Structure 1
Amino acid sequence: MADMGRLVPAVTRALDVLELFLESEGPLSAPDVTRRLQLPRTTVHELLTTLAARSYLAPVPEQPGRYRLGVRTHQLGSRYAEQLDLAAEGQQVAREVAETCDETVHVAILEDTDVIYIAKVDSTHAVRMVSAAGRRLPAHCTSVGKMLLAALPEAELDARLEGRELPAMTPDSITDPAALRAALAEIRARGTAVEHRESNPDVSCVAAPVRDGTGRVVAALSISVPMIRWSGERESELAELAQKGAGDLSVRLGHRGAW
Structure 2
Amino acid sequence: MGRLVPAVTRALDILELFLEGDGSMSAPEITRRLGLPRTTVHELVTTLAARNYLVPQPGQAGRYRLGVRTYQLGSRYAEQLDLAAEGQQVARSVAETCDETVHVAVLEGTDVIYIAKVDSTHAVRMVSAAGRRLPAHCTSVGKMLLASLPPDDLDERLPGDGPLPAMTEHSITTAGELRQQLDAVRERGVAVERRESNPDVSCVAAPVRDSVGRVVAALSISVPMIRWNEERRAELEELAVKGAAELSERLGHRGGAR
TM-score (norm 2): 0.90
**Is structure 2 residue 206 aligned with structure 1 residue 237?**
no
Deviations 1:87-111 (A, max 9, x none): 1111111111011111110011111
Letter in 2 for 1:101: C
- Of 144, 147, 152, 1:147 maps to 144
**Is structure 2 residue 123 aligned with structure 1 residue 126?**
yes
Separation in structure 2 between the aligned mates of residue 155 and residue 17 of structure 1, nearest angstrom? 35
Residue 213 (structure 2) aligns with: 215
Residue 226 (structure 1) aligns with: 224
**Is structure 2 residue 90 aligned with structure 1 residue 93?**
yes
Letter in 1 for 2:120: S
Alpha-carbon contact 2:23-2:66 (below 8 Å) kept? no
Deviations 1:53-83 (A, max 9, x none): 5443345698775543233322221121111
Residue 19 (structure 1) aligns with: 16
Q: How many pairs does the alignment contain?
A: 256
Letter in 2 for 1:110: L
1:37 Cα offset (Å): 2.0
Residue 10 (structure 1) aligns with: 7
Letter in 2 for 1:140: H
Change (3 A) 1:218 1:195: same
Deviations 1:39-63 (A, max 9, x none): 1012112322333454433456987
1:177 Cα offset (Å): 1.0
Change (3 A) 1:40 1:210: same
1:199 Cα offset (Å): 0.5
1:123 Cα offset (Å): 0.9
Separation in structure 1 between the aligned mates of residue 50 and residue 114 of structure 2, nearest angstrom? 33
Residue 204 (structure 1) aligns with: 202
Residue 40 (structure 1) aligns with: 37
Change (3 A) 1:96 1:9: same
